Amino acid sequence: MTPQELVEIRKRLGYKSRSAFAEAVGVTRQTVDNWEKGTVPISKPVVNLLRC
């Protein structure tokens, strides 16, 4: 999953803020920031969850 795909999925799911999305998936807002910037790989469990 690319960072852009993550942003699109987050918005499609109705999470307007990174903070709300981070809370929903059990990570910090900084982690979501890093995923969306592409500086840190998106964790496999989150990728699997979002692809369901």
H runs (alpha helix) in the chain: 3-12, 18-25, 29-37, 44-50
Q: Is residue 52 part of a domain?
A: no
- pLDDT at position 6: 97
| Non-local CB neighbours of 28 within 8 Å, separated by 6+ positions | 22
Q: Is residue 33 part of a domain?
A: yes
Total domain count for the chain? 1
- State pTM to two decimals: 0.88
pLDDT tens per residue across span 10-52:
999 999 999 999 999 999 999 999 999 999 999 999 999 998 8
Q: Is residue 11 part of a domain?
A: yes
Contact 31, 40 (CB under 8 A): yes
Q: Which domain, by its residues, includes 8? A: 3-47
